[in-house]
Amino acid sequence: MTWKKESRTRTTIRQYGWIFVFLVAFGGLWLPRLGLLLIPMMLGLAMMGFFRGKYWCGNYCPHGSLFDAIILPLARNSQRPDRLASRPVIWGAFAIFMVGLVSRLTPVISEWGTVGFWDRLGYVFVFNYLVVTLVGSILGLTINARSWCSICPMGTFQSITYRLGTVTGLNTKTDRKIRVINPDHCKRCGKCTRVCPMQLTPYDSGDDEDGFNDDRCIRCGLCAEQCPFGVLQLDDTDNRPDEYVDQAG
């Protein structure tokens, strides 16, 4: 399979979100309080995960913008090894990240109220952000631009909150998934897969009423946009336009 370097920067956030990465990951080395910006961001993406799965990753994540806008043109863009996206690696990365974060946060929080507390707290997040930036960029350059997204602990965190949203039924009306709205028109040409940042095969969801349920899908919509035959649609669960419901039969 040849992977295409299709432009993925359709919105201003996707085009320039990487500036935030440079500001916090590198600017934070001089001004550690910048790391405090990551606290509401992490809470926000967890909340969004509850209602929309990994929609954050494909549409708002600053690192996603870095990988798509800066890394992609330079990347090898080769096949991601299956073991990189295996469960042990995903959960191992999540465990290492969480243990590292908590072990660095614990001594800092015990210094609550002291001079320099907010700088030390901010630096914990700056450090994590810098590590993700460097590791993600290296993986992006040497494998494919979004390799990091397969194992990103924040993505795993969103998968967890999404399952909670699904189990409780609270994301029924807010979820957005890829749907095969026109299955008879699919030529299985693979163009959707070749442009997919996560190297997925969305047309394989066939007539599934529930949409494309692959946990790795970041709901970027690129596959739907690039399908030459209008087979795919990034859509709301309960708010599909009537004509698409009709076409899906």
Q: How far apart, in whole angstroms, are the C-alpha atoms of residue 220 and residue 239?
A: 18
Q: How far is the CB of 232 from ligand SF4 (least distance, A)?
A: 5
| Structure tokens given for 194 | 């070749």
Residue pair 156/94 in contact (Cβ under 8 Å)? The answer is yes
Rank residues 71 and 200 by Cβ distance to ligand SF4 and give the closer one. Answer: 200
Which positions lie near ligand SF4, rule CB under 6 A? 58, 178, 186-192, 196-198, 200, 202-203, 217-223, 227, 229, 231-232
Using CA of residue 26, residue 44, residue 124, residue 94, what is the dihedral sign?
negative
Q: How far is the CB of 193 from ligand SF4 (least distance, A)?
A: 7
Rank residues 61 and 196 by Cβ distance to ligand SF4 and give the closer one. Answer: 196
Rank residues 165 and 197 by Cβ distance to ligand SF4 and give the closer one. Answer: 197
Q: What is residue 52's DSSP assignment?
A: H
Beta bridge partners of 233: 179
Q: How far is the CB of 51 from ligand SF4 (least distance, A)?
A: 17
Rank residues 32 and 58 by Cβ distance to ligand SF4 and give the closer one. Answer: 58
Rank residues 58 and 165 by Cβ distance to ligand SF4 and give the closer one. Answer: 58
Q: How far is the CB of 212 from ligand SF4 (least distance, A)?
A: 6
Q: How far is the CB of 4 from ligand SF4 (least distance, A)?
A: 11
